[in-house]
Amino acid sequence: MTEPVITVATPANRERIVSSLVAAFTGDPVLRYLFPDETTYPAYAAAFFGHLFDKRVGKGTVWTIADGASVAIWEPPYTDDAPPSDAAWAPPLPADVLDRVHAYDEAVHKVLPPAPYWYLGVLGTHPDHAGRRWGHAVMEAGLRRAVADGLPAVLETGTAANVEVYRRAGWEIVDTVSEPLPIWIMRQKPS
């Protein structure tokens, strides 16, 4: 089996990355909590992932395989970013959706470990490319950066099955959130 080619994403990869993530997270509990309506899920999820991509692509911390078929969006440890305004979402999200996004963010941020750490914000592979271990490969790019910095890596997942996948990759649960939905906060220490 040939090793996949991992590249740092550029703005030119945005459309494919967003499309892959919308498809990859269709059944994800967190995304379905945020965007429960079937008819609006594609547009709202695209706005969500596009927003996260836009915030991080310029930092050189979005790694991808096949120009977006698999992607890891990492937040580096040292940032002075101001919280995004609700006006930054394109297309704009309705108030009820933003209320859920804010409630989720607030619940998770209350239990994140003390900084600094590398934060794996999104890891996903388009379903057409699932099973090739590309997700693990793009995740490793960020983990190598965390190790090089001597810092832990942190993520959260709302999918119980993902907890076991991450455990096998060396992550450990450090906290949980029960409301607005079950979320596991996980960390991987530098080796």
DSSP string, 121-141: EEEEE-GGGTTSSHHHHHHHH
- What's the pLDDT band for 85 if we cut at 50, 70, 90? low
Q: Is the pLDDT of residue 87 over 60?
A: no
Give, for 108, the enclosing helix (H) or strand (E). Answer: helix 95-111
What's the CA gap between 29 and 43, in Å, rounded? Answer: 17
Instruction: Output the six-digit token pair for 77.
Output: 């440890």
Interval 91-119 mean pLDDT: 88
Specify the pLDDT at position 19: 96
Q: pTM for the whole thing? A: 0.90
The tens digit of pLDDT for each residue in 35-75 reads: 999 999 999 999 999 999 999 999 999 999 998 999 999 99
The tens digit of pLDDT for each residue in 1-31 reads: 578 899 999 999 999 999 999 999 999 999 9
Specify the pLDDT at position 114: 84
